[in-house]
Each structure stands twice: as C-alpha cells, then as structure tokens.
C-alpha cells in the first residue's frame, strides 16, 4: 500500500521563490521535487554526525575496550532511579 503524502505550505521571499523556480527549471524538476530533494539533502547532512561517525583504528580499539568493560555503579544514578516518579 502506498504511503500518502502530506502537504506543507511555505511563505518565502519573492526573490527566494524566483531562485527556487530557476533552479528547479535548470534541473528539469518541479518546484516540489527541487525543494523536497534540497531539504532532504540538508537534513541528512545536518543529522549525519548524530547517527554516523568515523573512527581511526586506535579510537576504535578504545571504544571496543570501553564497551567490553563491565558497568560501574553510579551512586547518583542509583539514587535518581530509586526515587518515585513525579506525578
């Protein structure tokens, strides 16, 4: 079953609208295609460092060692999670 699309209404400066229209025409795309693709690319770049990262071999080994160590008791967290949930 195909997913339905949602509409977004935007207010833009007329100069920006003209620029977007010219760029969409140059790319042989509709204005919607141009804006969605451009927005998607920017969103992926902005969020990439929160989901993907590169490590050198030394940093990778340090990370693996840290993950393999047994957990330590953190008294502050023990206290926090032993408190009743606020109402």
Given this model, what pLDDT does residue 79 score?
A: 93
Torsion of CA 62, 63, 69, 75, to 10 degrees: 110
| Residue 47 within any structural domain of the chain | yes
| Residue 8 within any structural domain of the chain | no
Looking at the structure of the chain, the number of domains it has is 1
Q: What is the pLDDT of residues 68-85, one digit of tens each?
A: 999 999 999 999 999 998
Given this model, what pLDDT does residue 17 score?
A: 97
Structural domain of residue 72, as residue ranges?
Answer: 14-82
| Residue 3 within any structural domain of the chain | no
| Residue 31 within any structural domain of the chain | yes
Given this model, what pLDDT does residue 36 score?
A: 97
Entry pTM: 0.57
| Residue 6 within any structural domain of the chain | no
Q: What is the pLDDT of residues 7-44, one digit of tens each?
A: 999 999 999 999 999 999 999 999 999 999 999 999 99
C-alpha–C-alpha distance, residues 23 and 31, integer Å: 8
């Amino acid at each position: 079953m195909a997913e339905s699309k949602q509409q977004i209404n935007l207010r833009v400066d007329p100069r920006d609208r003209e620029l977007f229209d010219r760029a969409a025409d140059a790319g042989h795309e509709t204005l919607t295609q141009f804006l969605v693709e451009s927005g998607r690319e920017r969103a992926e770049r902005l969020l990439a460092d929160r989901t993907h990262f590169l490590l050198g071999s030394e940093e990778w080994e340090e990370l693996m060692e840290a993950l393999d160590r047994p957990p330590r008791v953190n008294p502050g967290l023990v206290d926090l999670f032993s408190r009743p949930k606020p109402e």
